[in-house]
Structures are given as C-alpha cells and as structure tokens.
Amino acid sequence: MAIKLHPLGRMGAALGIFKNGELIFLTKNASTLPDIPMDTMGRFNSGSKTPTVCAGIYSLFTKLHGSKRIKAFELEKGGESVPVIRNSKDYIEYKSISSGINLHNRSVNDSDTWANSTGCQTVKKEDFDKIVNILGCYKNGKYVEGVYVGKIIIDRSRISEVLQKRYQQRYGKYYLDCFNTEDVSTWARDAWNKFRIEGVNDGKGAKNIVTEEQLMVFLDRMEHYLVKKYNLEKLL
C-alpha cells in the first residue's frame, strides 16, 4: 500500500523558503507526516505513541539531531510545546503536545518495516543540504544550536483525495486538526458531524454547493429527524 500511495516514498509535499516576501528556494521532496502513523506492533518511536504535528505556524531553530548530531532544525525550542495528534499501537487517537519535533533529512525510500520519521518533518537529503546552507548558523566553523531562523508553516490543505480518505480513517475525529482540508469553523464542523451521525446530511463535505434537489432531501431528512426526536406529528 505504501508503494502505491507514495511512489517516491512518503514525500510529495512542497517546501519553500521565503525571504523578504521572495521565494528563494523550493523543493517538492518533503514530507510533514510520520512514515508509519500507526503501528500495531509498537516498533517505532521507541514503542511510544507516534505524534503527527497539527497544521499551523511554528518557530524554527537550529538543532543537532540524534546520536549522530546531524545538522537539523527544531520546531519551537525545547519543552512540550508543539500540538500533535498521537496514534498508539491500539489505534487510539488523542490530542497532545510534543517536544523533539525536528526538520531533518531523509532517504526517498518508504517502508512498512522501518521509518525515516516518527513525527519529524523531513526533506530529501540533497535538498536538505541546500536548506542548511541557507538557514544554518555557524560559529568558528561549527554548527550552532538554538538559533532562531524563522517560521515554518505546515499546511496540508492540498493533500490528494486518495490520501485524505486514508488519513481520515487513521486520524478519526482529529483529522482536521492535522489536515486543514476544510475551511469551516469549529462550531459548523461539530454541527455537521452531529447531523451526519443522525443521517440528516450525506457527510460528504460541509462546504459543498447545495442544489435544489439536495436541499429538498435535506429538509425531508430534517423533518424526519425532528419528528422522531421530539415525538411530533409529521405534517407532510
């Protein structure tokens, strides 16, 4: 399944660097998702629950990552400060916060048995080296940690429909915290989900343009719902 959905591995997201409003670097070899967001055997992220960063804007700092101390960047600076959705080996999702969410390099390969990322943002190594040259900070020839380099915007609004369906199943009610694919308010989303469960709407999208035919069906279903809920007499 991973090969079909990700012919170039997990990558497919675009990463751009803007300076003074001008685009100075662009690659489409990036990913904002953990390689294996759920794993029934608990093989990844040291067996703990895998975090997926919520869509949003975060401060970015230089970082030396992992035991090999490779050049990287960190979202926010230390502490449990990045909002995430965690997925356990028992397939239970919940909203949480996380530290150690980094931006680092990766290979193009995707696998069901090992992971380049268990929550970090990743970029193909050749492209990431260019990012380090643009944003990295050095002192006396050494890479310096903890230097603020700008903001990173995580936007998954243009993810393909095939992946949307897959991740909607994986992330459940927290899907829209991770994937900002519907520009609707929280109260509108809650109301939509309520009446989707009751069978009043078709559950296909809260931003759809409604035809007269669909409106008649909606009103009929709403009438049925009100009659049933409040034990009323049906008028039509």
Question: For position 187, what pLDDT does the model report?
Answer: 65
Element of type H or E holding 230: helix 212-230
Question: How does residue 102 score in pLDDT terms, banded at 50, 70 and 90?
Answer: very high
CA-wise closest residue to 38 among 82, 100, 94? 94
- Checking if the pLDDT of 162 tops 80, the result is no
The CA–CA distances, whole Å, from 207 to 176, 178, 204 equal: 14, 18, 9
> What average pLDDT does this structure show over 4-28?
79
Instruction: Say which residue, 151 or 107, is predicted with more confidence.
Output: 151
pLDDT digits (tens, 9 = 90+) for 185-218: 666 667 777 777 777 776 666 566 677 877 788 7
- Asked if pLDDT for residue 183 goes beyond 70, the answer is no
Backbone dihedral region for residue 27 (phi beyond 0: left; psi -120 to 50: alpha; all else: beta): beta
Is the pLDDT assigned to residue 26 strictly greater than 90?
yes
- Nearest to residue 182, comparing CAs of 156, 209, 154? 156
